[in-house]
Amino acid sequence: MKAILAAGSIALITAGAFAQERYELPAEQAETARMLIDQALESDLAWDIVESLTTEVGPRLGGSEAEARARQWGADLGEELGFDRVVIEEFSMPYWERGDMEITMNAPYTQALYGTALGGSGRSPRLRPISSDIVYFRTVDDLMAAEDGSLEGRIAFVDGEPIVRSITGAGYGPANIRRRVGWQHAERAGADALVVRSVGSDIRRFPHTGMMSSDSAGDWADIPVIAVSNPDADHIRRLHELGEDINFTIRSTAGWRGEVTSGNVVLDIVGRENPEEIVLIGGHLDSWDLGTGAVDDGAGVAITVAAAELIRRLPQRPRRTIRVVMFGAEEVGLLGARAYAAQHAAEVPNHVLATESDFGAGRIWQFVSNVNEDANPVIDAIGRELAPLGVLRGGSNVPGGGPDIIPLAFAGVPTVRLNQDGTDYFDLHHTPDDTLDKIDPEQLRQNVAAWAAMVYLAAELDVEFRPTPDAASE
Ligand SMILES: [Zn+2]
């Protein structure tokens, strides 16, 4: 069928009751996309970028001095590679710092636990240790049912289960509830502190940090809120099932440190025909402070910058502008993403497509989209170019695009996503174990290949991904 269709043509194929137009890429663009794939599969550029970021900058918590160094690193990289425009766009944000923490079990015997404060945690009173018996809750729902004042003088411990590993990371959202809102119920019930099982799929003694949610008034925890490793939580569960009284000592100096400056780094390849139309890609520049943020999300920054750079080296610029955004302060509440959408509100309607790489560095296995349905045949044609890389065409109405794309997607920007194999992502996520050695260079090259071909075609082809104004008003 494909062989008898002229390049660039549209033909009707009927499938059951539905008629679906089939679109064939123009030969020249298809050839360029294949050339980009070949080049990416031979290129170590993404590896060099993520190695440089994780080694020369290191951990880079949103709002920290390290994140400011990362911005300068990102702008220097953009200049060095020869992007057409390189801008640091600052915004201000409240800064939370981890400080020091200790957590020890004192009864039924003494044992050090492996824990870390959650983002937004409070400190122990006068920065001194608290020693209290724990009240064990099997699930966060059980803690939510605790009566007001019923945990005075106690430490709440919320168990749960390790996340079940999966390619999509599907178990993360539900497991995350104890991390996000558990503190609000512990505080309401009068607890001295809250300790939760880490939200992770590994059986290492690494705690997983991550941001909590503020309450409906916008307030944060006054009490220490600590996640312990899965094996530590297993241990506490077994002691509880033996009927033992369990006592913890906790000391934390975590807290808010006032308003600071963060920012996004914006690198543009200016389009040759429609420079005002923007295909936005990127990753987030900040990381949690325990590891060096290699898979979350140094890899995403490296993949998208490297893909854009391969396109920049073509003999001519694509029709549209390709914009790589290194978002700031993602981990601590999508603050860079919100700032970007606010600062660029006037040109949001010119963003024709947006997507982020923020799920590690595993092989891409699926391409999903959420664009004007008339553009689906073109997305399908792009998908066919990715098939030799082992990428399957997934759903055509899957909202998303990545965490930092949420504000743009809400404002009506079409999205696509190159889904990575996240089977081991939540082993490493937000732990001290998120380091460069976890990235497989060959899988990283496969990512860059898929991104380079997809982004080039999205920026080059004459296709509207946004609904036309008429269609939108119907
Ligand atoms: Zn991330």
Residue type (1 letter), 63: G
Q: From ligand 1's centre to the CA of 286, what distance in Å?
A: 8
Give Cα 155 to chain centroid, integer Å: 31
Q: From ligand 1's centre to the CA of 359, what distance in Å?
A: 7
Q: Is the pLDDT of residue 155 over 60?
A: yes
Segment (H or E) for 416 = strand 415-420
Q: From ligand 1's centre to the CA of 118, what distance in Å?
A: 16
Q: From ligand 1's centre to the CA of 51, what distance in Å?
A: 17
Which residue ranges form the domains of the chain, and what is each CATH number?
25-95+259-473 (3.40.630.10), 99-253 (3.50.30.30)
Q: From ligand 1's centre to the CA of 284, what distance in Å?
A: 6
Q: From ligand 1's centre to the CA of 310, what distance in Å?
A: 24
Q: What is the pLDDT of residue 473?
A: 44
pLDDT in tens, 174-190: 999 999 999 999 999 99
469 — pLDDT class (breaks 50, 70, 90): low
Average pLDDT value for the chain: 95
- % the chain with pLDDT above 90: 94
Q: From ligand 1's centre to the CA of 154, what distance in Å?
A: 34
pLDDT average, residue stretch 328-347 = 98
Q: From ligand 1's centre to the CA of 141, what distance in Å?
A: 27
Q: From ligand 1's centre to the CA of 302, what distance in Å?
A: 13
End-to-end CA distance of the chain: 35
Q: From ligand 1's centre to the CA of 289, what distance in Å?
A: 13
Q: From ligand 1's centre to the CA of 217, what distance in Å?
A: 26
Cis peptide before 108 (omega within 30 of 0): yes
Q: From ligand 1's centre to the CA of 331, what distance in Å?
A: 6
pLDDT in tens, 41-88: 999 999 999 999 999 999 999 999 999 999 999 999 999 999 999 999
Q: From ligand 1's centre to the CA of 344, what distance in Å?
A: 22
Question: Distance between CA 158 and CA 197 in Å, rounded?
Answer: 6
Q: From ligand 1's centre to the CA of 445, what distance in Å?
A: 19
Q: From ligand 1's centre to the CA of 317, what distance in Å?
A: 30
Q: What is the pLDDT of residue 470?
A: 56
pLDDT average, residue stretch 412-428 = 98
Q: What is the pLDDT of residue 6?
A: 42
Give the chain's largest Cα–Cα span. 78
pLDDT average, residue stretch 124-128 = 94
pLDDT in tens, 2-54: 333 344 445 444 444 455 689 999 999 999 999 999 999 999 999 999 999 99
Q: Radius of gyration (Cα) for the chain, nearest Å?
A: 24
Q: From ligand 1's centre to the CA of 43, what distance in Å?
A: 24
Closest to 358 (Cα-Cα) out of 373, 374, 377, 336: 336
Q: From ligand 1's centre to the CA of 114, what distance in Å?
A: 23
Q: From ligand 1's centre to the CA of 156, what distance in Å?
A: 28
Closest to 364 (Cα-Cα) out of 419, 305, 284: 419
Question: Distance between CA 422 and CA 464 in Å, rounded?
Answer: 31
Q: What is the pLDDT of residue 21?
A: 80
Q: From ligand 1's centre to the CA of 338, what distance in Å?
A: 15
Q: From ligand 1's centre to the CA of 472, what distance in Å?
A: 32
Q: From ligand 1's centre to the CA of 13, what distance in Å?
A: 40
Q: From ligand 1's centre to the CA of 407, what distance in Å?
A: 16
Q: From ligand 1's centre to the CA of 262, what distance in Å?
A: 17
Positive/negative CA dihedral, 311, 312, 314, 320: positive
- Do 376 and 402 form a contact (C-beta atoms < 8 A)? no
Q: From ligand 1's centre to the CA of 212, what distance in Å?
A: 15
Record the tokens describing residue 163, joined without a space.
């996340």
pLDDT in tens, 431-467: 999 999 999 999 999 999 999 999 999 999 999 999 8
Residue type (1 letter), 308: A
Q: Is the pLDDT of residue 137 over 80?
A: yes
Q: From ligand 1's centre to the CA of 388, what distance in Å?
A: 28
Apex 219 CA angle, 216 and 224, nearest 5? 120
Q: What is the pLDDT of residue 255?
A: 98
Q: From ligand 1's centre to the CA of 209, what distance in Å?
A: 12
Segment (H or E) for 14 = strand 10-15
Record the tokens describing residue 187, joined without a space.
């505080």
Q: From ligand 1's centre to the CA of 69, what distance in Å?
A: 19
